[in-house]
Chains A and B, each alone.
Chain A
Amino acid sequence: MTGKLIIERSSPGLSLQDGGREGVLALGLSRGGAMDRPALAEAAALFAQRATPALEMAVAGGAFRAVGGAVRIALTGAEMVADINGKRIPWWALHVLQDGDVLNIGAALGSVYGYLSVAGGFEADLVYGSASARVDWGIGRKLGDGDTLSPVAACDLSPRCLTRPVDRKLHGPVRILAGPQTRLFSDDSRTSFFDASYRHSGRGNRVGIALGDGPELIAPGQLSLVSDVVVPGDIQAVGSGAPYVLLADCQTTGGYPRIGTVISADLVRVAQMAPGAEIQFLQVSREEALSARKAIEAELAALSDGIQPLIRDPRDAAELLTHNLISGAVAGDEGDH
C-alpha cells in the first residue's frame, strides 16, 4: 500500500509547484510554477514520468514522516542536507521511505530552491490547469506542521540517482536580451550596468530579486510609461535605482522601464541566487539565446540516460558489487517502469 507524507516540522518557504499555468496572462494571472523548472525534469527522469506537482522548499525543508506504507521520494533542484532517520542521503536521487521513516531536509548548500517529488506528483486542486500555489491570491494552501501530502500514484522503483544533474551554471555572466525599452536607457547607463557586478541584496522572493552593491539603474522619465506585459527575467529600473529581476510569481503588467530580459537558459541561475551572491550581466544576440535554450532542452531530454542504481551504504559494498553486475545486465529496461 502506498503511504503518505506527514509534515512533522515545516520550514517557512514550502509550497506545491508544477510547471505553472499557461495561457492565462490575459486574465491577469502570472504563470507561476517552480522557480527551478529543470528540478521538475530531474524528478520526472528519476520516476520515469512526466513533470508533476512537487514540494518546493526555499532555503530549507523540514521533517516528513511516511505513514500508511512506503513512499518513494525524489530530491532535486538545489542541493540540501538530507537524511532518513538520521542517516545522510545523497541529493539528486530517488529514495525509499519505509512506513514510519522520517526524512529530514535541512539547509540548502549555496543555492535556494530544493524539490521533493513523489510518484505521480502530490495530490492538489488545480486552478486553470495547475497545482502551483499562490497563497496570497487564494490559490492552493499554505503548508505547515501536521499537513498531509499524498502521492497520486503507487511506485515500486528501487533507489537510484542522477549522475549528471542539470548544470545550473553558477559561474560567468548572466545573459540577457535587449527588449522594447532598452533604448530608453542612455549609453552611459547601459555601459555602467553591463560593466558592473551586483549582489543579491537580501530582498528577494518568488516575485523577484532586488540587486545591490552596484551602480543605480535609472531611465529618464521613467514614471510616465504606460504599463504593458512584463515577463519573468525582465530587469526593471525601479524608483530606488536598485535593479529588480522579475521571477516566476511576478505581476503580469508593469510600468517600470526594463533594460532587458534574462534568457530562459540562465533564469534558473538567477532564481537560485542566495542573498549576497554575485552577478554580472552580458547582452547577447537572439541566436545565442536560442542556442542556449536548445542546449538546455537537450540536457533535460538526456537526464534519464544518466540514471544509476543508488549504493546506499558502503558496508553493503561487497553485496552491492554483485547486485550491480546483475542490474547492469538488465539496465536496458531502466526507463520502462
Chain B
Amino acid sequence: MIRGEVTGLGEDGLLIRFADKLDLDANALAIDAARVIERASIPGVLEIAPALVSVYVRFDPLLVDLATLAARVEALLPEAVSPGDAEPQPVYAVPVCFEGAYAPQLEDVAALVGVAGSEAIDALCAAPLRVLTLGFAPGQPYLGLLPNAWDIPRQAGLTPKVSPGAVVVAARQLVIFAVPAQTGWRQVGQAAFRPFLPQAASPVALSPGMRLQLVPVGAKEFAELDPEAPLKEIRG
C-alpha cells in the first residue's frame, strides 16, 4: 500500500500525492482515491480532481478547516485500491493515421527510441493504454505507460501549433490533443477522434482509468472517418 502525502494547496485546496515519479500503481490509486473521497460526500468539499499520481480536493475553508478535512481524507485513503489493469474493462479503439504530414516527427521519435518507424507504430498500437488523467486542456487524455525505451525527453523547442486529434509522445506518455495548441512533445500521428466537443451534450468523451488502443489506419481510410464519432469498443 502506497501512503498518500496530504498538504494544503492555496487556502481552499488539499493535495494528496501518492508518488514522486509516474507509476501505474500510484496512478490507479489516485483515480480510486478520488472515487472514494467523492463517495464519502464530505460537507464543505466542492470538487475532487485526480491527476497523474495525486488527487486535488477543493473545499470551502469557511465551512471546514484544512486539518479536519485532511484527517478525514487520510482516514479514507486505506479504502482506495490499485486494481491495475487486471480487472476486465472495455477497450476502445482510436483510429490513428501514422502517415506523411499526419506524423511529422515519427521518424525522429523512432530514432530516439532506437527502432524503425514501422516498429514504433507497432509498439504504440501493441496494447491498450490507460487514460492516466485528463488535463492541461478540456478532456485531453494522458495515456500510458509506454515501454521504458519510450522515456524520451521533450523537444528543445516548441511546435507552434498542432490540431485537435494530434497524437504526441514524451516521457512514456501519449497525449491526444483536445484543442489547437503549441507543444513541446513530438507528433507521431493524428487520431480520428476529438476528446473535446464543446457543443456536444457531453463535451468530454473520456474519463481517467478508461482503456484505449490505437489502431493504425491509412491516409485514404483516415480521410473518410468522422473524427467526431464516438469511439467503438474492441471486442475481445
Contact = CB atoms under 8 A, between A and B. Distances in A.
A226 B19 contact: yes
Nearest to B52: A226
A136 to B, nearest CB: 7
A179 B9 contact: yes
Nearest to B181: A136
Contacts of A261: 9-11
Given A27-B134, A228-B56, A177 B10 contact: yes
Interface of B: 7-13, 15, 17, 19-22, 34, 46-54, 56, 58, 61-62, 66, 133-140, 178-180, 196, 198-199, 203-204, 208
A138 B34 contact: no
Given A180-B9, A180-B15, A23 B46 contact: yes
B20 A25 contact: no
A290 B10 CA distance: 11
Given A28-B204, A180-B17, A227-B51, A286 B135 contact: no
A128 B21 CA distance: 32
Contacts of B21: 226
Contact of A228 (B12, B52, B180): B52
A308 B144 CA distance: 60
B134 A26 contact: yes
Query: Which 5 A-B pairs have CB atoms at the shortest separation, nearest pair first?
Result: A229-B56, A253-B135, A25-B49, A26-B49, A261-B10
A231 B62 contact: no
B178 to A, nearest CB: 7
Interface in A119-147: 127-128, 136-139
A29 B197 CA distance: 12
**Chain A binding surface SS class:** mixed
A50 interface: no
Contacts of B51: 227-229, 253
Contacts of A139: 198
Given A128-B203, A226-B20, 13 more contacts: A26-B34, A28-B137, A28-B196, A28-B204, A127-B203, A138-B198, A179-B8, A228-B56, A229-B51, A253-B51, A253-B52, A264-B12, A293-B11
B61 A252 contact: no
A27 B51 CA distance: 10
B10 A233 contact: yes
A251 interface: yes
Contacts of A251: 135-137
B212 to A, nearest CB: 16
A294 interface: yes
A227 B203 contact: no
Contact of B11 (A28, A29, A252, A264): A264
A293 B21 CA distance: 35
A180 B21 CA distance: 15
A177 B8 contact: yes
**Chain B binding surface SS class:** loop
Contacts of A29: 138-139, 204
Nearest to A23: B47
A112 interface: no
Contacts of B196: 28, 137-138
A165 B15 CA distance: 35
From B46, B56, B62, residue with most partner A Cβ within 10 Å: B56
Nearest to B14: A180
Contacts of B9: 179-180, 229, 231, 261
A128 B199 CA distance: 10
Interface in A167-196: 177, 179-180
B48 A26 contact: yes
Nearest to A232: B10
Nearest to B153: A223
Contacts of B138: 24, 27-29, 137
14 contacts: A22-B46, A26-B208, A28-B136, A177-B11, A180-B7, A227-B135, A228-B15, A228-B51, A229-B54, A253-B136, A261-B11, A264-B10, A286-B11, A293-B11
B53 A228 contact: yes
A131 B140 CA distance: 21
A303 interface: no
Nearest to B26: A226
Contacts of B11: 177, 261, 263-264, 286, 289-290, 293
A136 B136 CA distance: 13
Contacts of A177: 8, 10-11
From B12, B20, B135, B139, residue with most partner A Cβ within 10 Å: B135
A90 B56 CA distance: 43
B53 to A, nearest CB: 5
A25 B49 CA distance: 6
Given A127-B198, A226-B19, A293-B62, A286 B8 contact: yes
